[in-house]
Amino acid sequence: MKFLIISDLDNTWVGNDAATIRLQKKLQAERDRFYLVYATGRSFASAVNLMREFWLTTGEPLLAPDCFITGVGSEIYHQGILDYDWAAKISQNWNRSAILPITQAYPQLLPQPESELNPWKISFCLSKSVNSAILDDLKQDLMRNHLAANVVFSSGRDVDILPPGVDKGTAALYIREKFQIPLERTLMCGDSGNDLSLYQHSTLGVIVHNAQPELLSWYQQQANPHIYYAPSSYADGILDAIAHFGLIRD
Ligand code: GLC
Ligand code: MG
């Protein structure tokens, strides 16, 4: 029975080139024994660009995934093609054009580049000096206007507004069901706020050592033996978890 790795890219799978290469070396020999999914906040184009940059700087390819979850779960790509079933599912109860003007009442929210937006994702940066409590005001504003949305805060800076119920975790659940991999054979890997939802579906999970405070403070309130805070950082933390959970037996 294959296992499934669903991993964030920035500061998890990548971030320390030597660690990524160590992890990939271990996994390469077992490539037919697992499915690999990259789950990133980046757009698909930006994720592909990251893969090219990795090859240009290290001379090693990033492992080819079986599919991509991009834009924090707002899009899923199989062989470079958008998953239209997912798109149709998340389009229900999502009114992007009504949400946009509400966000404009918050000048503290600085728009991200157009290339990071898509029909199911509106993204901003919050400047460091602004209290993230304004996100509670934004959520209340959306609620008052009967606009359902999921607001995700990451790295103490990024704000993503997604359709209700959409995040990396629900996209990962959809993929896990498609691939029919049991919970105890599925490993989620991440480092920041937009990865939190990955750990909420009863699978195995690893939080790499270099994780962001917003994810660590959530972790500290959990007592779940299936979520492992790795002693090592970046991709070495994923290696720790593969050994810890016995996913590959030598
Ligand atoms: C990536 C995306 C950005 C998003 C952030 C956090 O950096 O490019 O749009 O806000 O992840 O999810
Ligand atoms: Mg990350």
Write out pLDDT tens, residues 201-241.
999 999 999 999 999 999 999 999 999 999 999 999 999 99
Is residue 250 scored above 80 in pLDDT?
A: no
Find residue 190's DSSP bridge partners: 207
Output the CA 49–ligand 1 centroid distance in Å: 14
Output the CA 121–ligand 1 centroid distance in Å: 10
Mean model confidence pLDDT for the chain: 97
Residue whose pair of structure tokens reads 């507004």 in the numeric block: 161
Q: State which of 123, 157, 161, 194 you would mutate to test the pocket of ligand 1, scoring each by most atoms of that ligand within 8 A of its C-beta.
A: 123
Judge contact between 179 and 83, C-beta under 8 A: no
Q: Look at residue 238 in the predicted model and tell me its pLDDT.
A: 98
Residue-wise burial string across 210-249, b where 16 or more C-beta atoms lie within 10 A, e elsewhere:
bbbebbeebbeeeeeebbbbbebbbbbbbbbbbeebebee
Find residue 152's DSSP bridge partners: 160
Compute CA distances 19 → 3, 95, 192, 244, whole Å: 21, 42, 18, 17
Judge contact between 138 and 106, C-beta under 8 A: yes
Q: Look at residue 190 in the predicted model and tell me its pLDDT.
A: 98
Q: In this structure, which residues have their CB less than 5 angstroms from ion ligand 2?
A: 8, 10-11, 191-192
105-160 pLDDT tens trace:
999 999 999 999 999 999 999 988 888 899 999 999 999 999 999 999 998 899 99
pLDDT tier at 248 (50, 70, 90 boundaries)?
very high
pLDDT tier at 249 (50, 70, 90 boundaries)?
confident
Q: Look at residue 132 in the predicted model and tell me its pLDDT.
A: 86
Output the CA 73–ligand 1 centroid distance in Å: 11
The reported pTM is 0.96
Q: State which of 38, 160, 191 you would mutate to test the pocket of ligand 1, scoring each by most atoms of that ligand within 8 A of its C-beta.
A: 160
Q: Measuring from each residue's beta carbon to the nearest atom of ligand 1, which residues come in under 6 Å?
A: 41-42, 72, 112, 116, 123, 154, 158, 160, 194
The closest residue, in CA terms, to atom 4 on ligand 1 is 41
H or E stretch at 52: helix 44-58
Rg (CA), the chain: 18
Output the CA 250–ligand 1 centroid distance in Å: 37
Output the CA 160–ligand 2 centroid distance in Å: 14
Question: Which token pair is 18?
Answer: 């030597």
172-207 pLDDT tens trace:
999 999 999 999 999 999 999 999 999 999 999 999
| Region 30-56 average pLDDT | 98
| Cα–Cα distance, 110 to 106 (Å, whole number) | 9
For the CA of 125, the nearest atom of ligand 1: 10
